[in-house]
Amino acid sequence: MQRLTPTLRHDGVGIELIALIRTILAATKEISFRVSQAELAGILGSTLDENIQGETQKKLDVVTNQLLKDMLLECEFVRAIASEEEPNSIAATPNAPFVVAFDPLDGSSNIDINGAIGTIFTIYQARGDVSDSDPKQFLQGGRKQVCAGYVLYGASTKLVMTTGGPTRGYTLDRTHGGYLLTTAEFAVPSSTQMFAINMANQRFWQAGFKAYVDDLLAGETGKRGKRFNMRWNAAMVADVHRTLEQGGLFAYPSDNRDKEKRAKLRLLYEANPMAMLIEHAGGKAYTEQTAILDIEPTDLHQRVAVILGSQDEVETCLSYLADNQ
């Protein structure tokens, strides 16, 4: 099996970006070990603090965020970083070529139950028109990402990443400590019978999305004329990974639970990287109105609705929303 660096060279990735990617992956290898030993080390459970999102921080959220911060703030190729766990972006190496945003541990609610968790990361060229510490370094459209990826800490530690070409999959080989190419190119099947939606929010959805899900549940006796099945990992990394492997529709639509927060998933370090991975595997990734990668960001931690996965199913879902405007 081919190692990571020759694959990146084959994909035409420059040595500076390769070095930066290797730095991020070095942190993920350490995170993979830390999460596997967390219970023995007594770092499961929550802290007494809340992050910028107003969410109680898990001890591992803090540990993994610090690991990535420490490694990236010292990296000569990183001008600034942004994190789900940090209120503001942080300047790193002046005049460095790239900026990096990340969700250090996505799926925090799974940490204490040994459920699926992962790290999501995205890399942009640094901007020359704003200062290093200006959050505008990260207010770049998703199609400007030079690299997007996640590491899923499951039964095996899996890296899924694109540097502008195909979405490729790698598995951490613990014998020699490197990521080996195990999926040359993901290809999301265009149709599916699988959906990943948190049904507990059903009463808060807009009419069009309710109608779409009602017809999924009606199965072969309803308008769709086929039976669907459901999964919900409560970790975007795990649900997106299944979608890349087997197809499916993943959706976290807007809802009216909280007038101040009509969507849950964050654009910069969740929706945009996942949208790039899905699009580069032949899938589709939308909010309820537009392609996620076409959104012009306005805030570091802005949230968006997400409907992504098998192209035909995403288009069917969007048609219900359009018909119920």
C-beta of 11 vs 204, nearer to ligand AFP? 204
- Residues 62, 48: contact at Cβ < 8 Å? no
- Smallest distance, Å, CB 238 to ligand AFP? 8
Q: Is 55 in the site for ligand AFP (CB under 6 A)?
A: yes
Least distance (Å) from ligand AFP to the CB of residue 186?
A: 19
Q: What is the DSSP string of 61-105?
A: HHHHHHHHHHHHHT-TTEEEEEETT-SS-EE-STT-SEEEEEEEE
Angle at 156 between CA 85 and CA 67, to 5 degrees: 30
For residue 259, with 0-12 CB atoms within 10 Å meaning exposed, 13-18 middle and 19 or more buried, which class applies? exposed
Residue 274 found at the interface with ligand AFP (CB under 6 A):
no
User: Are residues 161 and 181 in contact, defined by beta-carbon separation less than 8 angstroms?
Assistant: no
Report, in Å, the least distance between residue 137 CB and ligand AFP: 23
Choice between 219 and 297, CB closer to ligand AFP: 297
Nearer to ligand AFP, 75 or 236 (CB): 236
> Residues 144-183 vs ligand AFP: string with x where CB under 6 A?
----------------------------------------
Q: Is 265 in the site for ligand AFP (CB under 6 A)?
A: yes
- DSSP-derived secondary structure letter, 155: S
Least gap, CB of 93 to ligand AFP (angstroms): 29
Residue 231 near residue 249, CB atoms below 8 Å: no
Exposure class string for 204-225: b at 16+ Cβ within 10 A, else e: ebbebbbebbebbeeeeeeebe
Residue nearest to ligand AFP (CB): 236
CA–CA separation, 94 and 99 (whole Å): 11
Indicate the residue among 241 and 284 with the shorter CB distance to ligand AFP.
241
Q: Which positions from 107 to 136 touch ligand AFP by CB under 6 A, shown as an x/- string? A: xxx---------------------------
**In the bound complex, what is the minimum distance in angstroms from residue 157's beta carbon to ligand AFP?**
17
Q: Which of residues 176-235 bind ligand AFP (CB under 6 A)?
A: 198, 234-235
Taking CB under 6 A as the rule, does residue 75 contact ligand AFP?
Answer: no
Residue 147 Cβ vs ligand AFP, minimum distance, rounded to whole Å: 20
Q: Do the beta carbons of residue 170 and residue 4 sit within 8 Å? A: yes
SS3 (DSSP) at 244? helix
Residue 304 contacts residue 251 (beta carbons within 8 Å): no
Nearer to ligand AFP, 156 or 198 (CB): 198
Q: Is the dihedral of CA 26, 168, 249, 231 positive or negative?
A: negative
Contacting positions for ligand AFP (CB under 6 A): 55, 106-109, 198, 234-236, 252, 264-265
